[in-house]
Structure formats: C-alpha cells, structure tokens
Structure 1
Amino acid sequence: MKCCYCQKPIIKNLTIKELVQQKKSVELCWECAKLFTPLSIENRCDGCQKSLLKSESKSTHSQKTFCTDCLYWQERYPTYDFCHQSFFKYDEAMQTWFQQYKFIGDIRLAGTFAKQWQSLPKRFPDYRFCPIPLSNERLAQRGFNQVSQMLKVSGVTFQLLLKRVKHHSAQAQHSRAKRLAMPQPFALCVDPEQIKQCKILLIDDVYTTGQTLFHAASCLAEHQPTKIRTFSLAR
C-alpha cells in the first residue's frame, strides 16, 4: 500500500478485511496526515466554523455566536438556517495540496481524504449529497469536477441537482467585494419534485466568503426541501 499523497510505501499490519480490499483502499501515511489541521469546535462561529476574533464576534441570541460574515448573510437570507461544517483548516499545507490536485490537475490525489468523506453518510443520514457543479468551460479546462471526483473515489453516493449556467473566472482572481457581488450562477437540473421535502447536503471544496454555497442553497430553497446544510473539505 502506498500513501495517496506522497506515494511512499505504508508499512502496517493489515487485517483480513484490509487485505481483501487493499486494491481499492486509499490512505495517507502518518507524515502526510499530520500536515493537515482538523478544524476545532472551540472559539468558532456557529454558522460557518470561522475562527472568531473577540473584536468581530457577535451573538444573535444567548446560545449561538456568529461571525460578521454570517450576520451579513443572515441579512440577505433571513429565512435560511445557517449551518456550515468543514473537515480542515485552509492553511498553507492545504493550499499546497489544492494547487497540486485542483489547479495542476493531479487527479490521483482525489482519494487523499477518502476516510473523512466516508464519514459523511453517518454524520448526515437521509441526506442527498450534492457537489457544487462546474461550468462547462471550467470542466473542459480542468478535466474533472474536483468535488465529485473526491466523493466518487471515496465511494460516497451523490447526485447532481444543480447546473452552473453562468461561467465566472476563478474565485481566487477576485477581491472579496467582487465575490460577494457575483450574480446567481446556478439553476436546478432535476424535476423540482425530486427535492421537495428532502434533506440536502451541498458540498464544495473550500469555504471562503460563502457566496457560492449561498447561491446554491437559495436555488434549491425555492423548491421546498426539508433542510439544506453545507459542507466543505476546508475552511
């Protein structure tokens, strides 16, 4: 077995189940695993898991504390039930990984965080998992949807409920103000009856301003799902 990131051999005692499934298994070696920082729940925004600074944290009521970003979104989407979660901190190590996987296009890295993605069905039972779609232009350029590919390699069932009808240049090329001002890029691509009274988990790679996920959520919310939650690999 090799590390799915650095490709170095992983030496460990395998169980019978692991021996049988060895060809399909993907795993990080110990050295690579410790590169990535899991998000803690301490001193975090209850809406998006952003690390809170004393100067910016504000409470909407006695039991929850929201960052200034989430307070902004609550003004724009007053009926939306805020709850975003992520696995890891978007730090230098994660940026390096994304550069190799997403921008250079090393699709072999899609299984790097398979163990984490495989935990989603237990964390969100009875939810439909919907990855954020790419535009046709971006898909042709990159060759794969980075979120769908991670879920596929991890063996996590998902469904494409949305399509991107407007192509924008990469988010990293825009200032924060321009990201927040971007128009709705999504449209529903299934019969509305398929999502009515359903629980939906929208999944993206990175949560930055939240604009992409809020656009996607608002598009779905028009068709009366029971609940919408959002999730990303990194925050």
Structure 2
Amino acid sequence: MSYCLYCHESYTEAWSWEALIGLKQSLLLCHDCEGKLVRIKGEICRICSRDFSIFPEQYRQGDCCFDCIRWKEDETRTGVLQQNRSLYVYNDYMKELIAKLKYRGDVEIVKAFYPVLSSTFKMISRDAILVPIPLSDERHYERGFNQAELIAKGIKKPVEHLLKRKTHEEKQSKKTREERLSQKENPFEVIGSLKVKDQKVILVDDVYTTGSTLRYAAKVLIEAGVKEVSSITLAR
C-alpha cells in the first residue's frame, strides 16, 4: 500500500513486467493523479521540447517551433542554450501541482518526479554539472526553499550553485510574455567561475515558458567559459 504525494489517498500499484524489471518508473502518485499529467513525448521541438501534437502546424518550421527560430535571430542570445527537455505539458493540473510546491510549501510532492528526472538527465548528458536556477535572496527567504534546487536533487548528481540573482524583481509568473522577452539587463551573475571552465552545464528549473530565464542564465555561463548549456524543467 502506498500514499499519493498529491492527494494523500492510499493506492495499490498495478503489477506489470515493466515495473518489475525497472522499465516503468513509479511516480509515487495514485492512478487518478498520474492520469491527469500529460507526458511530453513523440514529435517535439528539438530545442525547447514543445509538444507538436498539441501545437498548430503553422507555428513550426521543420523540427523547430517559431519561438526557437526567433531566438536564433536574437544576436545576443542565439545558440546559448543547446536544448531544453521538459517532462510534462503545463496543463491546469500541472499548474496546480507546481503551485502546491512553490506557494503552499508542499516540498514532498517534488519527489514524485525524481525517477523520471533521473532518466531524462541520462538522455541529455551523464557528465554535466547540475546548476539550479537561483531565487533572489528575498524570494528564498520568503519561500524557505528553492524549488529548482529540490528538483535538481532528484537527479542524484552533485548540484553546484554557480549562479546568483543580482536583483529582486517581480515574480516571473506575474509577468506577461512581452515583459519577459523585453527585459534587457541580465538578472544573473556567475559566482563560481573557476568551476565552470570548459564544462558542460545542465540548468534546472520548474517551468519553461518563453525560455528567457534559461537563456539569460546560459549566456552568463557561456561568457564565464562554460562549453555547453542545456536545461531540464518539469513542465513546458
């Protein structure tokens, strides 16, 4: 008997050969809660992981979505982020689940995704440094934890805190798409430059929205000598 990390109801895991030999990861969620998650798989944007099955055909070009094509045209941030891999579509249920983690302090819920996070990391790079996207000091004090750091711990690799937010600003979730993309000043700085020279880095965050935050972080890391930057997020 197990207890769901979201609704806290007891449930019995369904028996299968895949689970027995380790091919199917248990999410530590009951069947009803797990069924509300939409895993990103199949045909996706090769850069940002956008699920093409729920995206209009006219907004893509080959294996890239138009958002990523626009990023390529931005001379200041083109090529800084090699790829992003997100686990799930940011639907209403995932939005509520992440809100429960970030704003209501249910830190245990992130453990539901640890098995999938670990396997996704292995598909991107086994030898990269994990770097969580930092909160401002004020936001960290207010929340008591950094959700990106909790997510990164699920990958079971050493986590390096190589980035710092220079300023405290309005929550990204409160900003419009235009406000996120129009920001000019890079909010991050590198605080461990000696550790990053010629290394591969995987940034970790909760949600990929426009990709602006991850690209700002990737840019300062590349400028500090990092060889390559990718990212993992729970949702896209």
In structure 2, the partner of 1:223 is 224
Which runs of 5 or more structure 1 residues have no equivalent in the other structure?
Answer: 15-24, 60-64
Are 1:74 and 1:80, in contact at CA under 8 Å, matched by a contact in 2?
no
Are 1:114 and 1:150, in contact at CA under 8 Å, matched by a contact in 2?
yes
SS at match of 2:201: strand
In structure 2, the partner of 1:75 is 73
Displacement, 1:12? 4.7
In structure 1, the partner of 2:91 is 91
In structure 2, the partner of 1:168 is 169
Residues in 2 aligned to 1:4 and 1:95: alpha-carbon distance in whole angstroms: 16
Which structure carries more helix by proportion? Answer: 2
Are 1:49 and 1:84, in contact at CA under 8 Å, matched by a contact in 2?
yes
In structure 2, the partner of 1:19 is none
In structure 2, the partner of 1:22 is none
Residues in 1 aligned to 2:79 and 2:108: alpha-carbon distance in whole angstroms: 40
In structure 1, the partner of 2:187 is 185
In structure 2, the partner of 1:55 is 58
How big is each residue's C-alpha offset from its partner over 1:131-180, in whole Å with a ceiling of 9 and x where there is no partner?
10000011111111012123336644311110111111111211111111
How big is each residue's C-alpha offset from its partner over 1:86-135, in whole Å with a ceiling of 9 and x where there is no partner?
10000011011112111222222121212112224522210111110000
Displacement, 1:66? 1.8
Equivalent residue runs for 1:18-37 within 5 Å: 27-37=28-38
- 1:55 is aligned with what amino acid? Q
- Runs of 4+ aligned residues of structure 1 deviating over 6 Å after TM superposition are none
Residues in 1 aligned to 2:206 and 2:135: alpha-carbon distance in whole angstroms: 12
- 1:143 is aligned with what amino acid? G
Q: TM-score, normalised by structure 2?
A: 0.84
Over 3 Å counting, the alpha-carbon distance change for 1:131 and 1:196 in structure 2 is same
Q: TM-score, normalised by structure 1?
A: 0.84
Are 1:131 and 1:160, in contact at CA under 8 Å, matched by a contact in 2?
yes
Residues in 2 aligned to 1:121 and 1:180: alpha-carbon distance in whole angstroms: 27
Q: What do you get for the CA RMSD once the two structures are aligned?
A: 2.2
Percent identity for Structure 1 against Structure 2 = 31
Number of residue pairs matched by the alignment: 218
Displacement, 1:80? 3.0
